[in-house]
Amino acid sequence: MNKKKLLACALAASIAWGFSMDTQAASRSELAAIQVNSAKDFHYWTADAPAKEQLIAYVKDVTNKKSKNFIPAEDRIAVFDCDGTLLCETAPFYFDWMLYIHRLQNDPTYTPTAEEKARAAEFQKAIAAHKVTDEMDEFKNQTFPSVFAGMTPEEYKAYVTDYMNKTYVEGLSNLKTGESFYLPMVEVVSYLNKNNFTVYIVSGCERETVRALVKDVMDIAPNHIIGTDHSFRAMKQGKDVRADFHDFKKDDKLVRGDKLEDINVKTEKVIKIEREIGKKPVLAFGNSSGDASMFEYTITNNKYKAAAFTLLCDDTTREFGKPSKAEKMKKSAEANGWTAISMRDDFKTIYGDNVKRIK
């Protein structure tokens, strides 16, 4: 075989495994190229990972028309949390938090109030010290909408895309924020899609933010992404005019408003699943207590065989594991019949072997 053919074969192999030969982490296009058509196509899980084997057995069972547990394709609904389930949530903190701080501290097009500027500096220190309080979280949630108010949906998505393509995960080598998806979990989404499951993301992060993050990475439609909602309004609506009293015309524009509509965690996730999907999921994936309600809703009194999987943040070598939190979630999984996924033991790699934790 000549050198040209050898190079072509090597390039084809690198794409099949999700990496180009000259980058250290999978690019967004390489993440999108991950295909798991059958159980043998999982490359990023350890060979005998119990959680992977349970998922494969489950899918094989419920897609078998001869099985008593067969689920029709139209009822194969799978729901996923986002941060900490599909991508890094410690970069060094949740994506929407870091986007918010960037807007207040580093964006020359936005002039923060004195309070916003002071709070952003306070938040940075708290994140570095791992001491973010509930009060800080509430302030961020309430003020996030106003910080981005007036942007059209297209402008906001472009802003998020620009940010995620230019920033890097702190503490990990050469990993852009927009590429920080867990390779094994991208495989799970692909595997479920190939087996005619309809995949939804049900996140605590703001909906339009998640849409921008996921676009062109995983085969999940924008209308299958559910998250925290901020208000929208017509540009010519008037401050005190309700949307149902405003006529949208050709010279009008839809823009982001300055109000928080809801926070999509815990039971709010259950409510939104019912409102927006209208069917009970049969599979649920998450990583925290904020997903427990979604787990219980999925597996309790379900007319179909159902399962819940929770990721444990137990890898302190390749990621920013939190052993105490991981142990707590493991005990919750054991007590409630959820399947625990060990990032340390079940993932052959998380972001690719060339992405290293910086000590």
Does 20 reside within a domain?
no
Give residue for tokens 């895309």.
Answer: 161
Does 21 reside within a domain?
no
Choosing from 121, 153, 173, the residue where a domain stops is 173
Does 25 reside within a domain?
no
Same domain, 126 and 160: yes
Tell me what pLDDT residue 6 has.
36
CATH, residue 320: 3.40.50.1000
| Rounded Cα–Cα distance for residues 214 and 86 (Å) | 10
Same domain, 124 and 237: no
Phi, psi values for residue 205, rounded to 5°: -75, 155
Q: Provide the domain count of the chain.
A: 2
pTM of the model: 0.92
Give residue for tokens 């729901």.
Answer: 79
Same domain, 229 and 275: yes
Tell me what pLDDT residue 208 has.
98
Same domain, 46 and 118: no
Residue 318: domain span: 36-90+176-245+262-346
CA–CA–CA angle 79, 215, 178 (5° rounding): 100
Q: What is the dihedral of CA 5, 7, 12, 13, to 10 degrees?
A: 110
Both structure tokens of 282: 């049969």
Choosing from 150, 173, 196, the residue where a domain stops is 173
Same domain, 233 and 312: yes
* DSSP state string for 79-118: EE--BTTTB-S-SSS-HHHHHHHHHHHT-TT----HHHHH
pLDDT of the chain, 359 residues: tens digit per residue: 443 343 333 333 333 333 443 346 899 999 999 999 999 999 999 999 999 999 999 999 999 999 999 999 999 999 999 999 999 998 899 999 999 999 999 999 999 999 999 999 999 999 999 999 999 999 999 999 999 999 999 999 999 999 999 999 999 999 999 999 999 999 999 999 999 999 999 999 999 999 999 999 999 999 999 999 999 999 999 989 999 999 999 999 999 999 999 999 999 999 999 999 999 999 999 999 999 999 999 999 999 999 999 999 999 999 999 999 999 999 999 999 999 999 999 999 999 988 999 97
Show Cβ contacts of residue 308 under 8 Å, excluding neighbours closer than 6 positions.
283, 284, 285, 286, 294, 295, 296, 298, 299, 336, 337, 338, 339
Choosing from 155, 173, 191, the residue where a domain stops is 173
CA–CA–CA angle 327, 333, 335 (5° rounding): 105
Same domain, 124 and 140: yes
Same domain, 236 and 156: no
Tell me what pLDDT residue 285 has.
99
Same domain, 188 and 301: yes
Does 13 reside within a domain?
no
Tell me what pLDDT residue 24 has.
61
Does 250 reside within a domain?
no
Tell me what pLDDT residue 21 has.
33
Both structure tokens of 51: 């959680």
Same domain, 275 and 154: no
Q: How many CA atoms lie within 13 A of 88 on its CB side?
A: 26
Tell me what pLDDT residue 23 has.
44
Does 226 reside within a domain?
yes
Does 211 reside within a domain?
yes
Does 30 reside within a domain?
no
Same domain, 238 and 285: yes
Report in angstroms the alpha-carbon separations of 177 from 57, 170, 172, 232.
33, 9, 10, 27
127 close to 97: Cβ distance less than 8 angstroms: yes
What's the gap between Cα 202 and its chain centre?
Answer: 8
Tell me what pLDDT residue 58 has.
98
Same domain, 42 and 155: no
Same domain, 165 and 276: no
234 close to 45: Cβ distance less than 8 angstroms: no
